[in-house]
Amino acid sequence: MRIRIVDAFTDRPFSGNPAGVLLLESAAFPDDERLQEIAAEVNLSETAFAHPLPPGGEADWALRWFTPATEVGMCGHATLATAHVLHSTGRATGTVRFTARCGLLTATARPDGAFTLDFPTAPLREEAAPPSGLAKALGAEPVSVHDTGEHIGDLLVELRDEATVRALAPDFAALAAHSRRGVIATAAAEDPARGYDYVSRGFFPGVGIDEDPVTGSAHTALAPFWSARFGRDDLTGLQASARSGLVRTSLHGERTLLTGTAVTVIDGELLTSF
C-alpha cells in the first residue's frame, strides 16, 4: 500500500505542515488499533486515512485523522494533503467530497494549483476571565480567551502583539490541562504589508503534539475572530511555527473556506498488512 508524506499549506518542501496520507482500497476502515499504530509509526501531527464510497452518495471518500496518540475530530492540513494526493494521482478532479466525524467537507481544486477547503466555522464563546494558571502555562498574559466549540476543542487566546506570539515558550505539561485539544495563541500582524493579517501558533499537548506547524482547523476559529475585529471576511493568517505556513480564510457564516497549496515530499510503500 502506498503511503505519502505531503507538506500542506506551503508551495515548497520541508515547510508548512507534513501529513501522512494512505488511500485505502477497501470499503471500510481497518480496526482503530491498526490505524493508530500506523499513525504512531508515521509520527507526524496527523496521518489521514481515506477509503472510497459508492457512487451516488453525498460524499466520495470517507476520511479519518490520527495523531501519534489519538484520533481527532477535525484536521485541515491532512485534508488538504489528501485532496492533493487524490488529484496528483488522477483519483479525483474538481471538487472532492469527504465524510468525516465533523460532517461533510469539500476540497476544490483551483486553477492556480491551490485547494479550497469548506469546513464548519467554530462557534466562539468568550470566557469571562482567563482560566486560572493559563497565563503561567502559556508564558504570556491573555488579552481575551474564547472557547472554540466541540469540533476542535481549543482555547483561542488573544495576545497583545505579534512579537509576544513568536516568543512563546509554553509549559506543555501545564498547558494540557486547559483544553480538550490545545491552545491557539494569536495576535494582529505587526505589519500587514508583509502579506498576512494575523499570526498564530498552535499548541496541542492534549493529543500528543506540543506544537503543530500549520493548523487548518484552528483557522475555522481564527477566521471569525479576526473577521469580526477587522470587518473583512477574506483574510490571510501566518502560523509562525519554525516551519511556518500561510492559510487564506474566507468567512461565510457557518462555513469557513481555507485555501492553501501542498507538495508531496515522500512517496513510499507500507510493507505491513492491515
How far is residue 224's CA from residue 17's CA, in Å, rounded to a whole number? 22
* 171 to 27, 129, 142, 155, 268: CA distances (angstroms): 43, 20, 15, 15, 36
Half-sphere exposure of 219 (CA within 13 A, CB side): 35
Q: Which residue has the cell 519554525?
A: 242
Q: Give the whole-angstrom CA distance, residue 66 versus residue 103.
A: 17
| Euclidean distance between CA atoms 244 and 172, whole angstroms | 20
Task: State whether residue 171 is helix, strand or coil.
Answer: coil
Closest to 246 measured CA to CA, from 83, 88, 17: 17
Number of residues that this document lists for the chain: 274
Euclidean distance between CA atoms 236 and 250, whole angstroms: 9
**Distance separating alpha carbons of residues 101 and 79, to the nearest angstrom:** 13
d(CA 35, CA 274): 9
Task: Tell me the backbone φ, ψ of residue 222, rounded to 5 degrees.
Answer: -65, -35
CB of 264 closer than 8 Å to CB of 82: no
C-alpha cell at 184: 491557539
> Hey, what's the cell of 81?
494533503
Choose the catalytic residue: 37, 46, 162, 269.
Answer: 46
- Would you call 127 a catalytic residue per the annotation? no
Report, as residue numbers or ranges, the catalytic residues: 46
